[in-house]
Structure formats: structure tokens, C-alpha cells
Amino acid sequence: MRIVMIGSGYVGLVSGACLADFGHHVTCVDKSAAKIDALEAGKVPIFEPGLDNIIEHNRNAGRLDFSKELATSVANADVVFIAVGTPSRRGDGHADLSYVYAAAREIAAAVSGFTVVVTKSTVPVGTGDEIERIFREEFPQKDICVVSNPEFLREGAAITDFKRPDRIVIGTEEPRAVEIMREVYRPLYLNEAPLYFCERRTSELIKYAANAFLAMKITFINEIADLCEQIGADVQKVAKGIGMDKRIGDKFLHAGPGYGGSCFPKDTLALVKTAQDYDSPVRLIETTVAINDNRKRAMGRKVIAACDGNVRGKKIAILGLTFKPNTDDMRDAPSITIIQALLDGGANVHAYDPEGMEMAKEVIGPITYGTDPYEIAEGADAIVIVTEWDEFRALDLKRMKSLVKTPTIVDLRNIYPVAEVTKHGFSYFAIGKKNEKK
């Protein structure tokens, strides 16, 4: 089976490499010459654990290649995936579909024979219909079927998520496309991953509804965490206690500084806009978006409060910048807003992140970057854990204590047992727990 992936960003590259690993022949296309040149030179432009090995292995096996030329690549393809970006449109928060439609037109102009065109990018409900309309009106002689197949990959765990999915959602009612999509995912099907076929519009909405639900679940536990701080309860124990109920489930109940990343903020906003357009507002999600936006700045205030209400001239050491561990992605990372609040308060911010510092330099104001947690802890008035990277989970707290000016830890990810930190003489401010002030 010949598969072409249009867009070699995060989704396109992971999906393309994994499909090649299943034994298909895959070409990943991108307009960015720099990106394709880098990939051809064996450099993977994103940080995703395990991806470089899969790319190398499948290139060597002759199953995976890269190209800047869309038309020649798709000419003999059986399946063409559209995995280009759908950023939030400036001004109104709707998903910007200009790249999707441009790719669809280029694909239609170049394909021959029956071809399945699959939207893998997260696209609003009705996008598949619109692509089909374009094909019908502008390319009536072509035999193309439009299918929705959203991805549910998490950054940092994308390879495992692709190879061991909870489900594969495929939106099409066209029997020929059903056959081809079964063939694409046959190796997963044999592993008993359920292929869930439904109408195209339903499939498009499943993606948004899934992300909105998860964002709402996180926001729910974040609000419960605030309440825990006021009434003297422990949010981690509340999360465990409710999570043992199978109807609730224990996943996505880690209280923190608010969700970030390239998906939840963008997709929740797009769902809100779509629902408003259809005069069927999703008020729970509107509220989720508003609460999460406020929360990031509130985390800055939490750090300031831990520093006795004033950070002017104080050195604040930030551990972790990316929106979550195991990625270098800084998009909508809570660290950006938290650091801005600290800079506004006159703090002297030093930061360290294992992978995110290059990207952070483009989006964060004037701060100093360090080479490890101990270097930035030197002379600090507070240490703030913003991202739960593994290397922050077992810090040498004795050494930290000897380096800092004021022994204060603000742990926005709850990665330490309270007693472990206080034992070393630190004041400890976590999320959804009683403050431990020395």
C-alpha cells in the first residue's frame, strides 16, 4: 500500500513513521525545504522519544522517504493523509483551514485512480464535506473519497499511543474506503485495537469532544485543588478516591498549573466557536477555557504569595518550561504566563528545562537560562517546579538547601511527598494541599 502524508510536522511525522513500521510504503511531504533537507540528512526536527530510531530503521528498509514535491508524491498513492497545521485563526479562535484546503486542491489535481484522502489534522465538523464539495465541483473527473481519521496521540508518548491505541476512529460510509482503511490499520486490528467506523461528521466531532472532555476533567480537579487548599484537604487523595470509581476513572486527574500545549487550548476554543455558530453553545467548555486561562496567571500570584507577597529583586528558579515533560514544545505552556507574572512583579527569573530552552527563548521575555537545577538554585529565593520532568523528581534536596538563599519550594505538579521536602528544611507550597511554611 502506498501512503503519502502531507505535512511532516508532529502528527504527520509520527503517523508516517509508524505506518512505515507496519510495512507500508510511506512518503512524508512538506513544503518546508529546510525540514525535508534535515530529515533526508537523518535529523529529526522534533523531540519525541523513539521517533528517530523508527525513522532511521524504516528509511534503511526503503519504506519511508521524504519529499518537497506534493504532486509527484501523490500521483500513485492509494491513501493520502492531510496532516498539515490548523492553528487558531487570529482574531476569532476558529481553526484556520487554509492549509488544509490548499493541500486538498493540490492533492486532487495530482492523483490518479481511486484515492482515499484522509483528514488527520484536527478539523472542525463539516470540513470533510467542504473538501468533498471542492473535489466534486473543481475536479469532477477524479475518483476520490474523503475520510476523517483523527489522531489521539499525546506528545512524549506518541509512538506508544500510535501502536497501542484505545481505538482508531474512522469516519466514512463509503465501502471502498472502509476496505482501504482496514488495510492501513490491519496490524493494529490484529493486535485487537478496535477500529470504530462512523459517519464523517461524527468522527470529526469525536476528536473535539474527546479533547474538550479531558480539558474539562483537568479543570475540574484544578478547581477542587483550590478548594482543598482552603478547607485543608489533599487533592491527590481526593483524585485517588474519586478515580477508583470506574465511571470516573483515575486518568487526567492530576491537578497542576492549568493545561497547555498545542491541542487542548486550541481545540477547546475551536469547539466553543463551532458550537456558537450552530447556536448550540457548549457552556461547560466555555467555562473550562476561561478558568484555565485565569489559572496560569494565578499560579504566578501563588509563587509571589509564597515569597511573602513580594518578588521584586528576588531570584526565582524555574524548573521546567515545556507544557509537559518529554517534549520540547512550548506552545501555550503555563510557564510563559507564570514567568510573565513574575517578571511583572520585578523578579529576577532563572530557568532550566532539559529540552525546551531553545524554543522558550522565542516566546519568553528577558530571563536567564541555566545548565542544571543546581546551578539556577544558587542564591534563589524560591524554587518553582513548573514541569514534572523525571530529573526533577529526585533532586538532591540536601544539596539544594545548601545552595538556596531562602528554602522555599513551590511545586506546581505535586511531585514530592510533603514530608520529604519539609524534612530538609524547606517551606513547601504544593497544589491542593496545606502550605507547609517554615
Q: Report the DSSP pairing between strands 115-119 and 144-148.
A: parallel
Q: Alpha-carbon distance 401 to 424, whole Å?
A: 7
Among residues 263, 271, 351, 412, the one that binds ligand UGA under rule CB under 6 A: 263
Q: How far is CA 328 from CA 194, 264, 359, 382, in A?
A: 31, 17, 7, 24
Chain CA centroid to CA 198, Å: 25
Q: Does 51 bind ligand UGA (CB under 6 A)?
A: no
Report H helices in 111-199: 127-138, 158-163, 175-184, 186-190
Cell triple for residue 140? 469532477
Q: Does 30 bind ligand UGA (CB under 6 A)?
A: no
Catalytic residue among 18, 28, 145, 263: 263
Which is closer to ligand UGA, CB of 151 or CB of 229? Answer: 151
How many residues lie near ligand UGA (CB under 6 A)?
Answer: 21
> Taking CB under 6 A as the rule, which mask of x and - marks residues 199-238 in contact with ligand UGA?
------------x--x---x--------------------
Q: Does 259 bind ligand UGA (CB under 6 A)?
A: yes
Q: Which stretch binds ligand UGA (CB under 6 A): 102-110, 163-171, 248-256, 400-408?
A: 248-256
By beta carbon distance, the residue nearest ligand UGA is 263
Q: Does 82 bind ligand UGA (CB under 6 A)?
A: no
Cell triple for residue 436? 507547609
Answer for the pair 357, 80: CB distance below 8 angstroms, yes or no: no
Q: Which stretch binds ligand UGA (CB under 6 A): 52-60, 187-195, 253-261, 344-352?
A: 253-261
Give the DSSP letter of residue 233.
-
Q: Does 264 bind ligand UGA (CB under 6 A)?
A: yes
Mind giving me the DSSP string for 255-282?
A: --S---SSSHHHHHHHHHHHHHHTT---
Catalytic site includes residue 18: no
Closest C-alpha to 352, from 381, 319, 330: 319
Beta bridge partners of 29: 6, 67
Q: Does 315 bind ligand UGA (CB under 6 A)?
A: no
Beta bridge partners of 427: 408
Mind giving me the DSSP string for 77-117?
A: -SEEEE----PBPTTT--B--HHHHHHHHHHHHH--SSEEE
Q: Which stretch binds ligand UGA (CB under 6 A): 63-71, 95-103, 226-234, 261-269?
A: 261-269
User: 320 to 359, contacts with ligand UGA by CB under 6 A?
Assistant: 323-324
Q: How far is the CB of 158 from ligand UGA (least distance, A)?
A: 8
Among residues 30, 65, 155, 353, the one that binds ligand UGA under rule CB under 6 A: 155
Q: Does 7 bind ligand UGA (CB under 6 A)?
A: no
Among residues 253, 342, 384, 385, the one that binds ligand UGA under rule CB under 6 A: 253
Q: Alpha-carbon distance 224 to 238, whole Å?
A: 9
Which is closer to ligand UGA, CB of 345 or CB of 432? Answer: 432
Residues that bind ligand UGA (CB under 6 A): 122, 151-155, 211, 214, 218, 252-254, 256, 259-261, 263-264, 267, 323-324
Give the residue numbers annotated as catalytic, written as ranges: 263
